[in-house]
Chain A
């Protein structure tokens, strides 16, 4: 009973270590996957200012981002490789008697390269589609799954907002985004078609965002500067005025997400170290009690020929065993705990063999460290006094 209580600290500590590592590795792996799935070296240009806090769109003025801005960025910024303007909205898409509500994005063929998102079957959007505002659509995998039960969707006609569109291709499966939503639940149409037929506004040529892919990771900063200065110039923004647009670096957004999981990791790490410390002190206490209770035994062993390190090793081993038992229970608790975390917080977790080993080593080290003092005390006992101890 006493040892069970003592082990609790180790159990919690090791459990927290396991959970910490599970959350940490799971989250960073997921972030890495998502970073790759968003496309690399990405900038997102949004209307409205970022510096002034809230989003300040050009109310009453002109729309802040247009198709022309996107074209200008592609032509005039040398650090930029590809550009994809986006005008999106939610719309109902119907095929036969099935319908599905999804995010429809008007864009250009740039989207394929900007998002590193290849076509699985069929063909991509072309410049001609954009120029002529053809009624064609590229479908994400989730949309295909929900509307076409095994039928090849290419060349089928779907209705978006009751307007018939010909399906020209299907995108490859992409998975979840950083925000946790399904990226495959998407439809792409030519941006011009979206402007004219689907999400028409009073401002012709308006887009909601422009995605920009820099030539390389090194070019990301210069691309950001070039885009910013080009848009300042195009939007005639004076040197002291706030921008009416903002450029976001996706890498930074990823870093923010990573920081969030790091905070969780640090928190768990703190719990782990505190409980391991408490557990260790508990073990030290129980071992000190044990040394006192077994003073006579120590005396007998010494009389019979136990040397200093024979006595020390005996008690250190006992502390380590106690600690390892706690470690094994903690491992189980940690695995359970991390699946609970991933269920409740929707966080992916991963318990690796490495972290299990680490937990083992951790509890062993705690046992050795906190077992040493009681063992040391035991080894210093005077054999005669120890033998006489009642």
Chain B
């Protein structure tokens, strides 16, 4: 089942006289349940693509369909609703609310979804348990390690039972050991809960957790292969 379909998506930034094609006619289809890694050098358009997929940004041209809905035709608030219900974000810098407990951070998406307090509590506690943070509900971000903070962010991403997680360099701020733990958590969510994972990284080791890798270069999609083949190609080259 097709989850995401990008048709000829371009994102053009006008910088004075010159125009910058951050994305140039990118077309991709992502099926439900995939674990996809997006790779490419810095400035190649990975984040731009993620923002469009995440309904945070709209393409200059082209069409983006999420579960067969043309997102380009939606209002600001309708996009917010889609982000709330269908998309979970995990950022490089965690992006938790400071001075707010882990539990409250995880409850946040449900706040914009009119979930009653009791249910909010139960679901948030369950999500924290899923990511292995039982007993840390009342810790504030500054009392948690980087890995733990990223787990809180993942709990927040999945708490509304979204079909997709978008993770833009989620291990960029973490050491190797913690990165592996986080990647194993993504893998578990992908395999056990069937959540589609789309992950941006430039570390080949991290990308091995995926089953498919697409590569960007200067806004162009230059490669789209199963992970095993992609990595073979790397070794050859």
Q: A: which residues have CB within 8 A of B?
A: 296-297, 299-308, 310, 383-384, 387
A384 to B50 CA separation, bound complex (whole angstroms): 11
* B30 close to chain A: CB less than 8 A: no
| CA of A310 to CA of B111, assembled, Å | 9
A282 to B112, CA, bound (A): 30
The reply to whether A305 and B95 contact each other, CB–CB distance below 8 Å, is no
Which of B54, B81, B112 gathers the greatest number of chain A CB atoms within 10 Å?
B112
User: B156–A308 contact, CB under 8 A?
Assistant: no
Q: Is B89 an interface residue (CB 8 A)?
A: yes
Complex-state Cα separation, A383 to B57, whole angstroms: 8
CB-CB under 8 A from A305, the residues of chain B are 80-81, 83-85, 109, 112-113, 160
The number of chain B residues touching the other chain, given as a range, is 20 to 34
| B80/A306 in contact, CB under 8 A | yes
Q: Roughly how many angstroms separate A302 CA and B77 CA in the complex, as a whole number?
A: 10
Q: How does the 8 Å CB contact mask read for B87-111 relative to A, with 1 for contact and 0 for none?
A: 0010100011100000000001101
A304, B54: Cβ atoms under 8 Å? no
From B77, B95, B108, B111, contact of A387 by CB (8 A): B95
With A297-B97, A384-B51, A387-B95 as contacts: A304 and B109 at CB distance below 8 Å: yes
B 51-68 to A, binary, CB cutoff 8 A, 1 in contact else 0 = 100101100000000000
Query: Please, which residues of chain A bring their CB within 8 A of the CB of B118?
Result: none
Contact, CB under 8 Å: B112 / A306:
yes
29 of the cross-chain contacts (CB-CB < 8 Å) are: A297-B97, A300-B95, A300-B97, A302-B56, A303-B54, A303-B56, A303-B83, A303-B89, A303-B95, A304-B83, A304-B84, A304-B89, A304-B108, A304-B109, A304-B112, A305-B80, A305-B83, A305-B84, A305-B109, A305-B160, A306-B112, A307-B77, A307-B80, A307-B81, A310-B112, A384-B51, A384-B56, A384-B57, A387-B95
**6 nearest CB pairs, A to B:** A305-B84, A305-B112, A307-B77, A307-B80, A304-B109, A383-B56
Return chain A residues, CB-CB under 8 Å to B177. Answer: none
A305 to B54, CA, bound (A): 11
Encode contact with A along B23-49: 1 for CB under 8 Å, 0 otherwise.
Answer: 000000000000000000000000000
Residues of A within 8 A of B108 (CB): 301, 304
Q: Complex Cα distance A304/B111, Å?
A: 10
Contact, CB under 8 Å: B95 / A308: no
B156 touches A304 (CB 8 A): yes
A94 to chain B, nearest CB (A): 80
Q: How far in angstroms is the closest Cβ of chain A from B86?
A: 10
A308 proximity list for chain B (CB < 8 A) = 76-77, 80
Query: In the complex, what residues of B have CB within 8 A of residue A296's CB?
Result: 95
The docked-state distance in angstroms from the alpha carbon of A301 to that of B107 is: 12
- List 11 additional A-B contacts (Cβ < 8 Å) besides A303-B83, A307-B76: A297-B97, A300-B95, A300-B97, A302-B56, A302-B80, A303-B56, A304-B83, A305-B80, A305-B84, A384-B57, A387-B56
What's the Cα separation between A303 and B88 when bound, in Å?
Answer: 9
Query: CA–CA, A310 to B109, complex, Å?
Result: 12
Q: Which residues of chain A are near B113, meaning CB under 8 Å? A: 305
Closest-CB distance, B89 to chain A (whole angstroms): 5
Complex-state Cα separation, A387 to B109, whole angstroms: 16
Chain B residue with the shortest CB-CB distance to A300 = B95
Distance in angstroms between the alpha carbons of A301 and B56 in the assembled complex = 12
Across the interface, which residues of A come within 8 angstroms of B57, CB to CB?
A: 384
Q: Which residues in B have their C-beta under 8 angstroms from that of A384?
A: 51, 56-57
Bound complex: CA of A307 vs CA of B76, how far in Å?
A: 8
> Considering the chains assembled together, what is the distance between the CA atoms of A387 and B89 in angstroms?
12
Q: In the complex, what distance in Å separates the CA atom of A294 from the CA atom of B91?
A: 17
In the bound complex, how far is the Cα of B56 from the Cα of A384, in angstroms? 6
Closest to A297 in B: B97
